[in-house]
């Protein structure tokens, strides 16, 4: 488990509000492992923390276990907590989580299906979405119309869009659906809005179906149906942590897979 800001840990332990605790730290009322604390200090689990000479209960200092879920988002669902029009959101299908909340790692628009990762760890979510980590996203795309070699080269070498130049990092044909449609697997390392669709449209081609199949090292779990979720085990969580430079976590019992749809 990584270190956390001292005032955050103490607030979770019920000592006071973060604002109050920042004042107490500045006033010299808090000591960590026998040393006077200063603003900005971070503490590791197991640290001995005293406030006004009294030892804080260390059993309450550890953050809730990090959780990550792979959700198979159907088309028609929104990646938002609520919708003024009353449309279904992905959060209505997720399990309840005590002492935390689910955070979506990136977004899929209403017409895009496939793999959506959600987590209780805000730092992990932010790092996975931040452009500096260049986390790959893979999509299966059904395109209406024939795609020649020149078009493929343009899409991988770069085309000019209204918000700048963009290209697929990889583009490979998949099985043909029917005479008028072709399937491709494409990869991007940025999350600009509707970028997959806009790249194909720049070539005069229409995307008739779009599905995310992989995010970073995590692929869509085999057999996971639309509207179902699969809680990731420790090795898969650690693969995500490694991808963004966070410390691995100890092995925990394997969570249940593919619960029934809610």
Instruction: Tell me the catalytic residues.
Output: 109
Q: Which residues pair with 171 in a beta bridge?
A: 186
């Amino acid at each position: 488990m990584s270190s956390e800001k001292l005032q955050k840990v103490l607030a979770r332990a019920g000592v006071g509000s973060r604002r109050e605790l920042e004042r107490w730290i500045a006033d010299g009322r808090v000591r960590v492992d026998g040393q006077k604390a200063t603003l900005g200090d971070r503490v590791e689990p197991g640290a001995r923390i005293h406030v006004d000479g009294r030892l804080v209960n260390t059993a309450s200092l550890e953050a809730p276990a990090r959780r990550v879920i792979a959700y198979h988002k159907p088309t028609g669902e929104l990646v938002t907590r609520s919708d003024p029009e009353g449309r279904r959101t992905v959060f209505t299908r997720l399990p309840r989580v005590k002492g935390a909340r689910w955070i979506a790692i990136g977004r899929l628009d209403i017409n895009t299906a496939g793999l959506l990762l959600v987590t209780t760890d805000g730092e992990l979510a932010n790092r996975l979405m931040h452009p500096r980590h260049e986390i790959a996203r893979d999509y299966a795309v059904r395109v209406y119309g024939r795609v020649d070699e020149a078009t493929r080269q343009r899409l991988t070498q770069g085309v000019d869009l209204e918000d700048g130049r963009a290209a697929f990092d990889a583009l490979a044909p998949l099985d043909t659906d029917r005479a008028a449609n072709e399937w491709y697997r494409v990869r991007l390392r940025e999350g600009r809005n509707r970028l997959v669709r806009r790249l194909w449209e720049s070539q005069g081609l229409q995307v008739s179906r779009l599905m995310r199949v992989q995010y970073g090292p995590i692929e869509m779990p085999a057999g996971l149906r639309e509207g179902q979720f699969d809680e990731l085990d420790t090795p898969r969580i650690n693969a995500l942590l490694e991808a963004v430079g966070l410390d691995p976590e100890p092995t925990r019992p394997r969570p249940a897979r593919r619960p029934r749809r809610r």
